Structure 1
Amino acid sequence: MSSSITAEQSAWFGETFGRLVSNVEQAIVGKRHVIELAFATLLTRGHLLLEDVPGTGKTALARAISRTVRGTSSRIQFTPDLLPGDITGISIYDQKRGEFSFHEGPVFANIVLADEINRASPKTQSALLEVMEEQQVTVDGVTHRMPSPFMVIATQNPVEQAGTYRLPEAQLDRFLVKMSLGYPDAASTRRILEGQAVGTEAIAELILPQAVGEMIALARLVTIEPAIVDYITRLVEATRDAAQTRLGASVRGAIALANISRTWAIAHGRPYVIPDDVKAMAVPVLAHRLILDPEAEFDGVTPESVIGQILLDTAPPTQGAVA
């Protein structure tokens, strides 16, 4: 299996990835897999949707990641009266200079926490999602680029739905990964109460944003064999053919699964993708892109269970086909 990535580069990426995750885990105790998914999303140039109850550490996660990569972070509290300009920034007339000047909004940061995104109007939601897709803001004909790296961590409260605007499927599709932090287990809770969890301000600044850019570029070079591409294609098509779904995963979903599988592979020291990488990423990448049949939903079927069954029913390529 040929690859343009050397063994030394794979080892460096895997070691650095592990250090980044361990650094953030000091503040977000007992959630290593979630932190790994968050960094994999960042290094795939994607965005993360957290559906969780309050008080599980969403803000701390965003701040810890931004501090680890020596970046900037911002937090936007979404409310019904929030306007698009409150996110992207606005042009203000400067009387002394006799011209308009652009004042950047809070979206101009490396890690942006969009708290309770479903509380804002669809127009305001769309303003943020446009920035996520284009990684730039255009105001009065002038384009302003986002800093690099750039990731939006958006949150939704799954319990309190009064006064919220549900994210349409086309907007959910813009998020590379959707997951939940969840409550820590008993052992982790004890560690937190005993003061073993450090504050985000005490998190070490490990690498520069330029090094993150190098990792992003390296992940794109990971080899993905035709047999793995065929496997991803069959998985995505199965989501469309499943009896429990009204709408399956999109082509964007298939591309997202392939890209983050590359990142997951090199994060574990391999310059090539194996079926287990695809399996590990399938639920967080594809589940939120499905629309279930109402009858299936009424019977208690979840998108996660549909993907899980598809993984069981879809045969992965053999080792020889991937080698």
Structure 2
Amino acid sequence: MLRFGRYVRAANVEDALEVLRFRKGAQVMGGGMWMRLSDRTVPCVIDLSDCGLDKIEETEDEYRIGAYVTLRDLECAADFNYRTGNVLNAAVHDIVGVQFRQLATVGGSVFGRFGFSDVICALLALDSEVELVGAGRVPLATFIDMPYELDVLTHVIVKKHDYQASYQCLRKAATDFSTINVCAARWDGTWHVAVGSRPAKARLLAGEALGVSSAEPTADEIARAVEAVRGLAYSSNMWGSERYRRHLAGALTARSIVQAARYASTEAYQAALAACTREEAIR
């Protein structure tokens, strides 16, 4: 059973950071969907409900997603999803169920930096940053490898581009954790591919490291992307073996690039997918 020693409803994010840093064992509570599964006492829990972080705000250059925006709000944000290739809608719509997504928050999903996170994988392929009260704005790709420090995440920021993007994942059953997830996005003339549920934290490959440069990649380019993705580290758990994940990551990479590139012909689509079969099949 989860218990709280003290409950603080912060008036603003600066007060929340002060409590977090000066009360030993204090934690910020997002939606609490994973926290509630633990059997422990949290000495002090900080609620940010009064801090105005429950909106998706649009400026001329970016979308600012408040930390208390729920996954359901993110799923249903029509304009935001349209402008970002619909990858966040695709990433979250199979997470447990609607009731869960109406409580789970974007801030909790991102700050936790969970290896299985569909949300982080989708955001990582976009031009994304996080905004922290203490550290300020940090690229998401940098943030996920930072140590857990006493700071408060207030926003996830997605910069506006003409995105071509696609999110792909494989689950053993609907609402289950992803066995592997992949998001491909092209913006500013460069392809970006994020791979998560390895089951370690998501990793991003882009530019020369990915081996894809053209707007409509050839089968050879996609074969290089598949090889680069399969070169990442994978491991085994109850959702899949290291070998299985490595193979799936390549196949989903090819599929996501093909769909994001919006190929005009069936022949080009089939030639690109053929790149997946160039490696030895799983025995």
**TM-score normalised over the length of structure 2:** 0.31
More helix by share: 1
**Structure whose residues are more often strand by fraction:** 2
Larger Rg: 1
TM-score (norm 1): 0.28
- Which structure ranks higher in relative contact order (CA pairs < 8 Å, sequence separation ≥ 6)? 1
